[in-house]
Chains A and B, each alone.
Chain A
């Protein structure tokens, strides 16, 4: 075991709620290390000679559920696939998130066992319209959508963009955004046809995503507790359960990747992107070596020059 290079004896943690104030505190020298850095201030910190910025692709997936119980059309996989083809994840990541997000076609981020290389974001409005026609919904229909407006980065803007994209395949969206205190009770009641949720796997493992977000909802076991789409595929549930007792890493990874593949083909939900992470510090505080994608900085190894 090598000795830790860290030389910090005392750390003071100060909560600063307002984004702007937190960045100002760093730029004025009032604090040495801030997290998170709001996407709107990345340029400000980059331009400052006395501060350094570290960004990393994150593991929190932002996605939309399509409630099959509330909307008959969502039971048809062609309709779900049409919606998947109509959403431009790369456009959202570039224009709304200003590049501060990684477009996603699945739940598991790169680095997780279930991450499937072959799955990439799909965007083809013509194909989407074709699928809607094949499903018999060429004239479209109206749905309700709900999203929080103070929980995820640009959550309300993302919802508006998605609503606009769905309009191109004749799905009229009635969008309502709520503060998180009011949104989560509505989410538990499955109050809208499409609902947004962001998820970070507490276990840092793919199976956690599936267990909460795509398992057949079961009030007793708690499976699918946040599955607002009421998506149910017992085969996939069984596969995940099998993976959970598989000790061979490669076999386990293969099973989880197959689950992602099948969910992709079935368009069980609409993945959007993984939010990036950003930290900033004064120039002499070397944070890059201690940061990781789980956002648990190893502060014991922190070096201040």
Chain B
């Protein structure tokens, strides 16, 4: 176990090192931070002086060594725009994104498991086919389009007049397809509960929860179809295996077979793939947060790029790299717990 953890920690350092080198290598292409910082009437000399002061005239290697030296002491530089340490800026924005990811993950877990299992047990039922069809559509639609459609349907409201108003059935259909709207479409809401440090939570107030609904559903819409199909495929394969047939021959009830034996073995690859996907969701938060003006790290990163705020860009990339490594490590640990026959460090059993 110790060897495993040491291996993973050194992997984390390697990932962050590689990311920081790449980010530094491309920083010339990210735009000129001075353009964004100073006004139009600042003279060329003053700009040069500021450039010197910020250390932007030194060779790239020197700049990188300075950065690496500071990074090892925990200082990832100051954001040009916020004039605050980048880690502080990220810490202020991260809880919002984490809450969004938690909300989306809850929706995914609650919906994908029952639907996936049902589709596996009764693959021919029309409900299963319906869910499979919807999930194909869900994977195909880009997340920002889903977000915009959700806002139109549930925030503004849509009145359908396609069917003839005069008839009873026409009116009923019109009402069925129309929506009232009313859900909030931007921001996190007021009265967020302060948990600790910079974490202001929206889960404990009505306003916060209302604001969480549409963004979480949008974010979940990317991964939900994937998980449903994954659980269904894995479960169908497991249901074909020998020990399940033996259990049926032995006379165990269907419920016990499906939910105790089959499901546990289905969850193994789902956890591995799923864990990685949750990490990837961090990337999709950029799009979702932009549409909903959600003050998380995704929106912060997009704004940093527009402003050529290079320290913040580099710090964000490194933090995300770290999050990926941590997520993968946790997934492997959980896998090891669920399946005791697996040896994590790859040594002989």
A contacts, CB < 8 Å to B = 14-18, 20-21, 24-25, 27-28, 30, 150, 179-182, 184-185, 188, 212, 219, 222, 225-226
Contact = CB atoms under 8 A, between A and B. Distances in A.
B155 A181 contact: no
Interface in B5-33: 29-32
B35 A16 contact: no
A181 B35 contact: yes
Q: Which 9 A-B pairs have the closest CB atoms?
A: A181-B31, A185-B32, A28-B155, A28-B156, A181-B308, A27-B156, A16-B293, A24-B151, A184-B35
Nearest to B303: A17
Given A27-B156, A181-B307, A18 B291 contact: yes
A184 B41 CA distance: 14
A14 B186 CA distance: 10
B3 to A, nearest CB: 45
B44 interface: yes
A16 B308 CA distance: 20
Interface residues of B, number: 32
Interface stretch (B119-127, B177-185, B200-208): B177-185
B292 interface: yes
A28 B291 CA distance: 15
B36 interface: yes
Given A15-B293, A181-B30, 8 more contacts: A16-B186, A17-B299, A21-B185, A24-B151, A30-B155, A181-B36, A181-B308, A182-B29
A179 B306 contact: yes
A24 B155 contact: yes
Contacts of A188: 35
B118 to A, nearest CB: 35
B243 to A, nearest CB: 52
A28 B293 contact: no
B293 A21 contact: yes
12 contacts: A14-B293, A17-B293, A20-B148, A21-B151, A21-B292, A24-B152, A25-B185, A28-B182, A28-B185, A30-B185, A30-B186, A212-B40
Nearest to A202: B40
Contacts of B182: 28
B43 interface: yes
B184 A222 contact: no
A30 B31 contact: no
A24 B185 contact: yes
Nearest to A16: B293
Most buried by A among B291, B293, B303, B305: B293
B290 interface: yes
B296 to A, nearest CB: 13
B157 interface: yes
Contacts of A20: 148, 151, 291
Given A21-B151, A24-B156, A222-B43, A14 B185 contact: no
Interface of B: 29-32, 35-36, 40-41, 43-44, 148, 151-152, 155-157, 181-182, 184-187, 290-293, 299, 303, 305-308
Nearest to A226: B40
Nearest to B155: A28
Contact of A184 (B32, B43, B156, B292): B32
Contacts of B32: 181, 184-185
Contacts of B156: 24, 27-28
B294 to A, nearest CB: 10
A187 to B, nearest CB: 9
A304 to B, nearest CB: 21
Contacts of B35: 181, 184-185, 188
Nearest to A20: B148
A181 B27 CA distance: 12
A150 B31 CA distance: 14
A21 B292 CA distance: 7
Contacts of A226: 40
B227 to A, nearest CB: 28
Nearest to B36: A181
A20 B307 CA distance: 21
B146 to A, nearest CB: 13
Contacts of B305: 181
A188 B186 CA distance: 37
A28 B31 contact: no
A30 B183 CA distance: 9
Most buried by B among A21, A179, A180, A226: A21
Contacts of B299: 17
Contacts of B303: 17
Contacts of A24: 148, 151-152, 155-156, 185-186
A16 B293 CA distance: 6
Contacts of B290: 17-18
A20 B152 CA distance: 10
B108 to A, nearest CB: 24
